[in-house]
Amino acid sequence: MRSAHLALVAIGLLFAGGSTHAQTYDPSYPVCMQIYGPVGYFDCRYTSLEQCRFLATGRSASCAVNPYFAQKKLPRRSKRAD
């Protein structure tokens, strides 16, 4: 009976731990490389698509624009003529 109880607790912990999500994208860089394989992951440390594609050559990977990139917004200039 005790082993059945321990098994139920272990199964419960597995499902409870699986509900949390880690942040996939690093908002510091505009481009990410998605690496495919047994342990796939996103590597967001590229400043351009060209740079990412160059480094992805020969790998099982693809490059994409980071949807969570935190762009620094520049102040808008007035279009009013003086």
Contacts of 45 (CB under 8 A, 6+ apart): 26, 28, 29
Token pair 């394989």 is found at: 37
pLDDT exceeds cutoff 50 at 1: yes
User: Which two structure tokens, joined as six digits, stand for 40?
Assistant: 């796939």
Q: 2-6: which pairs have CB atoms within 8 A and are 24 or more residues apart?
A: none
- Per-residue pLDDT at 51 exceeds 60: yes
The pLDDT value recorded for residue 24 is: 79
Question: How high does pLDDT run on average in the chain?
Answer: 77
Whether the model clears a pTM of 0.85, i.e. scores above it, the answer is: no
